[in-house]
């Protein structure tokens, strides 16, 4: 993890030289704008740990004076939250212009629309959307478990879920539990969040994975501590267990809040739910997994975020895991400003949206290429296009009806129809006997080779 440097006492900087401070505020507005821009931009919301190394820097200011300017600006746009720390300190979030801009970009999801995702779900593309959702859910199940220590490959995780195998290891059980929780999200999003529902989610996520199964499906009754194993030190001490019921009630009220005039956007509220559950650590184990599913639950409750089901936020979080953990520690060392975690989550979400947009663009290009090269009168559905895509990467690949059905989450008759159509028009050859094995013909291989 990053070595965190605690920020200077900005209020002492102000009071130690009031005349200097008045000069900066009244007669140097351009300096304030400059340092605020350095500390908060599309690239990130900087903690003192990184801000103190920022270059180029105004020669008229010390870094400590600049940090005091940054803090006064952030306080001016901070929103108090209905949560307190162990020491009764307020927890807040700063709704800055770059944060607003990130919320607007994500909510509009223009890159996804340009790449081919419909503005709204509709019956014509329901089959494709279901395929995207299944793929994203498998990815989310895998990466959320990996963040918590699961050891396996994405390929094996995919086989586990698509082949409906019984988990053989704790890692496989964690992945399957995450997947099952995602399946149940369809029901959960139609209900308000309650302490019991939170326990239900945690129970599904942690079934048969805990050292003490008594920790599953109920709030902790003992103190827990969050450790940095690399340094063998405690990095977070959650609230005492007797405070958990009251704190969870506040968390649920915050989760269920609906108001068109709310100064805290829904997207930010979802990130704050993630942060607060992780801070309170209400369970003996499984808090991280539960926090990530709570984040998704809040967004999927909103019709305008229906497309979030196509993304795996945990994928990008896992790829920037050190930044993820640093965001919590930045918050804890900087007056409990939860903006660090909010901005990290929004940044991860935008990167995942870019990845999905690239996937859609490639699939569209592949579909156009297939139609032209193969002179198709009909059109590949998304599952058949996936077969073509697989042949592009491995021309000796083989396919079965059962495997195709499991991989795409459809019935075997549907899988048979997909593969038989491709065989009938000469793109796949099939063996006799059971199971029927399908392989790419030279016509399909040639078209696949010309795609690259």
pLDDT of residue 71: 95
Q: What's the pTM?
A: 0.92
- Spatial distance between the Cα atoms of 383 and 400, rounded to a whole number of angstroms: 13
Cβ atoms < 10 Å from Cβ of 418: 25
Identify the residue with better confidence: 370 or 270.
Answer: 270
**Mean pLDDT, residues 23-37:** 86
pLDDT of residue 1: 63
Where residue 201 falls among pLDDT bands split at 50, 70, 90? Answer: very high
Nearest to 278 by CA among 356, 230, 224: 224
pLDDT of residue 449: 86
- Concatenate the DSSP letters of all residues of 86-114 into one string: TTS-EEEEE--HHHHHHHHHHHH-HHHHH
- Evaluate if residue 452 carries a pLDDT over 70: no
Q: Which of 94-98, 133-137, 231-235 has the lowest mean pLDDT?
A: 231-235
**Mean pLDDT, residues 426-452:** 88
Identify the residue with better confidence: 407 or 322.
Answer: 322
Where residue 278 falls among pLDDT bands split at 50, 70, 90? Answer: very high
pLDDT of residue 193: 97
Q: Which of 35-39, 375-379, 398-402 has the lowest mean pLDDT?
A: 375-379
- Evaluate if residue 376 carries a pLDDT over 90: no
Q: What are phi and psi of 330, to 5 degrees?
A: -60, -45
Token pair listed for 48: 């003192």
- Spatial distance between the Cα atoms of 105 and 10, rounded to a whole number of angstroms: 33
User: Any idea how long the chain is?
Assistant: 452
Q: Which domains does the chain have, with CATH numbers?
A: 10-76 (no CATH), 80-357 (1.10.3290.10), 376-449 (1.10.10.10)
- List, for residues 378-434, the tens digit of each pLDDT value: 678 889 988 988 888 888 889 999 888 888 888 899 999 999 999 999 999 998 888
pLDDT of residue 378: 67
- Evaluate if residue 231 carries a pLDDT over 70: no
- Spatial distance between the Cα atoms of 197 and 115, rounded to a whole number of angstroms: 37
Q: What are phi and psi of 308, to 5 degrees?
A: -60, -25
**Mean pLDDT, residues 240-260:** 94
**Mean pLDDT, residues 126-136:** 88
pLDDT of residue 232: 67
Q: What are phi and psi of 226, to 5 degrees?
A: -95, 125
């Amino acid at each position: 993890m990053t070595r965190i440097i605690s920020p200077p006492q900005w209020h002492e900087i102000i009071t130690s030289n009031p005349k200097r401070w008045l000069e900066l505020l009244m007669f140097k507005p351009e300096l304030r704008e400059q340092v605020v821009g350095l500390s908060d931009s599309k690239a990130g919301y900087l903690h003192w740990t990184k801000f103190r190394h920022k270059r180029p820097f105004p020669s008229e200011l010390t870094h400590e004076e600049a940090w005091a300017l940054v803090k006064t600006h952030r306080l001016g746009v901070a929103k108090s939250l209905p949560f307190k720390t162990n020491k009764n300190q307020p927890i807040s979030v700063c709704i800055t212009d770059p944060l607003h801009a990130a919320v607007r970009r994500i909510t509009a999801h223009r890159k996804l629309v340009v790449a081919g995702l419909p503005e709204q779900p509709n019956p014509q593309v329901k089959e494709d959307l279901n395929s995207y959702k299944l793929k994203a859910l498998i990815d989310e199940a895998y990466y959320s478990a990996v963040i918590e220590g699961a050891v396996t490959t994405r390929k094996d995780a995919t086989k586990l879920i698509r082949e409906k195998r019984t988990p053989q290891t704790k890692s496989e059980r964690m992945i399957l539990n995450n997947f099952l929780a995602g399946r149940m999200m369809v029901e959960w999003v139609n209900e308000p969040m309650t302490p019991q529902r939170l326990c239900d989610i945690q129970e599904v996520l942690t079934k048969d994975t805990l050292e003490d199964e008594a920790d599953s499906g109920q709030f902790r009754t003992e103190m827990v501590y969050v450790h940095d194993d690399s340094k063998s030190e405690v990095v977070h001490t959650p609230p005492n267990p007797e405070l958990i019921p009251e704190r969870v009630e506040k968390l649920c009220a915050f989760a269920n809040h609906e108001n068109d005039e709310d100064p805290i956007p829904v997207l930010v509220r979802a990130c704050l739910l993630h942060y607060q559950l992780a801070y309170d650590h209400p369970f003996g184990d499984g808090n991280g997994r539960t926090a990530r599913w709570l984040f998704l639950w809040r967004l999927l409750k909103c019709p305008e975020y229906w497309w979030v089901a196509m993304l795996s936020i945990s994928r990008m979080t896992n790829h920037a895991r050190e930044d993820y953990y640093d965001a919590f520690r930045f918050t804890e060392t900087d007056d409990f400003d939860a903006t660090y975690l909010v901005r990290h989550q929004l940044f991860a979400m935008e990167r995942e949206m870019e990845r999905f947009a690239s996937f859609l663009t490639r699939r569209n290009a592949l579909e156009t290429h297939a139609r032209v090269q193969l002179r198709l009168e009909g059109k590949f559905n998304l599952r058949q296009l996936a077969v073509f895509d697989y042949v592009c990467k491995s021309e000796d690949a083989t396919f079965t009806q059962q495997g195709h059905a499991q991989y795409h989450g459809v019935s075997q008759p549907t899988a048979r129809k997909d593969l038989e159509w491709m065989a009938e028009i000469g793109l796949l050859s099939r063996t006799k006997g059971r199971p029927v094995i399908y392989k790419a013909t030279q016509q399909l291989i040639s078209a696949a080779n010309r795609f690259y």
